[in-house]
Amino acid sequence: MKTSFIAYFLGMLRLSQAFRVVSPLTSRWTAVRCMMAKAGVSSPEELKAFVSAAGERLLVVDVRNPDAAVEPGDLKSFAVAPLPSESYRPQAVNLIWDRSTNQMPLPSVPKETPIITHCGGGGRGQLAKEFLEKNGFENVLNGGGPKETECWAEFGEK
């Protein structure tokens, strides 16, 4: 029992240090949000700074499947999740993450284009981010899914 407590404590200590390296925790709520997020999902503060710095060059890569009509918690009460079009999120493109091949089509934009990936929960967005980085894209963040603290808070209703 004593050993498991020590292992738990050391694990939590290592986790808290990792969060401090990525982004200083300004409040308990920020710490809770970070611990609930899937691995690789950027913090709201990081996303806002990234969007601001990117300006008009920003590209949002939506990696949801078009046939996934319902995204859990999509802030629309399980309504159909709209995919990007020219009138809806003009700076977005839907590039489907293929789970069977672990890849997706590459966007036809310069490699230095600022890109935010997002999906229904953050997992596919992270896989897409890593795939883009392996293929030479230099400026990519994972915006997560439809939680209000993630990417959709910035792009979901536009």
pLDDT digit string (tens) for 1-32?
A: 555 555 454 455 444 444 444 444 454 444 44
**Least confidently predicted of 36-40, 97-101, 134-138, 139-143:** 36-40
Tell me how long the chain is. Answer: 158
Residue 98 and residue 133 share a domain = yes
Residue range of the domain that includes 32: 1-36
Residue 62 and residue 4 share a domain = no
Residue 78 and residue 23 share a domain = no
| Interaxial angle between packed helices 2-22 and 28-36, expressed in degrees from 0 to 180 and rounded to the nearest 10 | 100
Residue 28 and residue 48 share a domain = no
Total structural domains in the chain?
2
Per-residue pLDDT of 71-87, as tens digits, reads: 444 444 333 444 445 55
Residue 82 and residue 16 share a domain = no
Residue 141 and residue 118 share a domain = yes
